[in-house]
Amino acid sequence: MTKNIVWGLLVSTLCGCAGYADYPEAAKTPAPKDVSGVWMTSGPQKPLADPAAIATLIVSRSGDTLDCRQWQRTIERRGKLTWRGETLYNVNIKNEYNKITVTDGVMKYNRLTLLRVEKPTVECQAFAAYENGDYIFADRLAPEPQATKSHKKASGVERREKTK
């Protein structure tokens, strides 16, 4: 009896090991022509946090991706395209695999319906640059706003920095 339980646990543990490759090990593939470019939601969609939220997926010709979501702030996630059998997936740095299909100029991705657009939103452009007919992604291409040097709080109390 105990032997059967141990074997059952061992088999169930090993079954989980045959999943997808982690992000660094996933093989990046060049983007098919109908997939590369900028894709954006149009109108409210149920998987997004709010009807005003916007999702943008930027796919470079080399297969790098940038999933950019905007609502009250901008969240970006890097990824890359990879094939699993006959199916194209976007795997991101959090090891989330999302299937990509394009039919008649409409992309289905992560339970969203995306349409091809000319360029990403201004907020997403801070993470992507268009050079030589392709997109490249950087940590942040737009300069960060400089903090003011005032240390006054709303109550009028002024903080002083410690000197060594």
Q: What is the pLDDT of residues 26-48, one digit of tens each?
A: 889 999 999 999 999 988 888 88
Domain boundaries, the chain: 20-136
User: Model pTM greater than 0.85?
Assistant: no
| 47-62 burial: b if 16+ Cβ within 10 Å, else e | ebeeeeebbbbbbbee
pLDDT at 101: 96
Residue type, 134: D
DSSP state at residue 45: -
> Residue 77: CB partners within 8 Å, gap ≥ 6?
66, 67, 68, 92, 93, 94
Q: How far apart are CA 149 and CA 154, in angstroms?
A: 15
- Using a 10 angstrom Cβ sphere, with 0-12 exposed, 13-18 middle and 19 or more buried, the burial of residue 4 is exposed
What is the average pLDDT value for the chain, to the nearest integer?
A: 82
Query: Are 66 and 141 a contacting pair, CB within 8 Å?
Result: no
Assigned CATH topology for domain 20-136: Lipocalin (2.40.128)
Q: What is the pLDDT of residues 90-141, one digit of tens each?
A: 999 999 999 999 999 999 999 999 999 999 999 999 999 888 888 988 765 5
